[in-house]
Structure 1
Amino acid sequence: MLVILLEAIMTSKMVIQQPQPMMDSRESNEWGSGICDCCNDVPMCCFAFWCCPCFACIHTRDYGQCLCLPLLDVFGCVRPITMSMRVSMRQRYGIKGTMCNDCLYASFCTHCAWCQMSREMKERKMQVVLVSAKPT
């Protein structure tokens, strides 16, 4: 009897699978609003129009990056920080698009690009959690 029990244990395979991290997001891989959908959030777009540097700094901080990072955009015709934030947001939320379009929007539609990113963050409502790799 003991031999049969041991034989049954030895032949059965035990599969242990660790839970995988998941990011819950919307089904769509498109932006939640268009680049010119300022009527979706008029107060926010007015704030972005009248004081874009302040607006960009606040939303960069909310996204989990350095507060003053957008201030580097004033040095040049291509807005590197705005473009980088759009690329990062597309990657984080799984939005399809190209870096060429991100560059065009960042360079010629800066206020609208920041408003679109703000609406997307509000719509996705995903908390940013920063994890330290150093043992404490």
Structure 2
Amino acid sequence: MNVDSGHRPQQWSHGFCKCGGSLGTCCLTCCLPCITFGRIAEIVDEGRSSCLSHGLLYGLLLTINFQWVYSCMYRKRLREKFGLPEEPCGDCCVHFFCEPCALCQEHAELKSRGFDPSKGWTGAPTAAPQVPPSMTK
């Protein structure tokens, strides 16, 4: 779902520095960000690639401190999919300067839209996604 230029972008369901509203997600992301990222990427890719493959590539890039480029690409795709604004700054800046906050916010966004990131794409909501009132004609 992409937003037409005539529509105002939706807002993120959780603030950037709010740990996604979940202490568990925050702890997991700080200790094992490859798992959180893999879950996000699998859903954004609509199951075309697995959490494991994304997590392994993220972990490999983490060893050379280049994982933020990979995760930045998925933040952009998630934003475009749900019509979210690029905030608090550009996608790459967000991931470069505070990767855990960015991943927690993205994880929380998927949960607020009915996905269960721990189940991957198989945890996708079966009902049609809810359109906020600001998006109706």
Q: Give the TM-score normalised by the residue count of structure 2.
A: 0.62
Structure number with greater Rg is 1
Corresponding position of 1:52 = 33
Corresponding position of 1:4 = none
Residue pair 2:20, 2:108 contacting (<8 A) in 1 also: no
Structure-2 separation of matches of 1:84 and 1:128: 24
Residue pair 1:29, 1:96 contacting (<8 A) in 2 also: yes
Higher relative contact order (CA 8 A, sep 6+): 2
Going from structure 1 to structure 2, the CA distance change for 1:31 and 1:73 (only over 3 Å counts) comes to farther
Corresponding position of 2:106 = 117
Whether 1:62 and 2:28 are equivalent positions in the alignment is: no
Residue pair 1:86, 1:117 contacting (<8 A) in 2 also: yes
Corresponding position of 1:73 = 61
Structure 2 stretches of 5 or more lacking a match? 3-7, 116-123, 127-137
Secondary structure, in 3 states, of the residue corresponding to 2:90?
helix
TM-aligned CA deviation for residue 121 of structure 1: 0.2
From 103, 118, 124, the counterpart of 2:92:
103
Structure-2 separation of matches of 1:84 and 1:76: 15
Whether 1:38 and 2:19 are equivalent positions in the alignment is: yes
Going from structure 1 to structure 2, the CA distance change for 1:39 and 1:125 (only over 3 Å counts) comes to closer
Query: Alpha carbon RMSD of aligned pairs, Å?
Result: 2.9
Structure-1 separation of matches of 2:20 and 2:68: 24
Going from structure 1 to structure 2, the CA distance change for 1:34 and 1:73 (only over 3 Å counts) comes to farther
Corresponding position of 1:91 = 80
Going from structure 1 to structure 2, the CA distance change for 1:72 and 1:101 (only over 3 Å counts) comes to farther
User: How many residues were matched structurally?
Assistant: 104
Structure-1 separation of matches of 2:80 and 2:24: 27
Structure-1 separation of matches of 2:82 and 2:32: 27
Deviations 1:44-76 (A, max 9, x none): 111111111122223322333532233353245
Structure 1 stretches of 5 or more lacking a match? 1-21, 130-136
Residue pair 1:73, 1:82 contacting (<8 A) in 2 also: no
Secondary structure, in 3 states, of the residue corresponding to 1:36?
coil
Q: Give the TM-score normalised by the residue count of structure 1.
A: 0.63
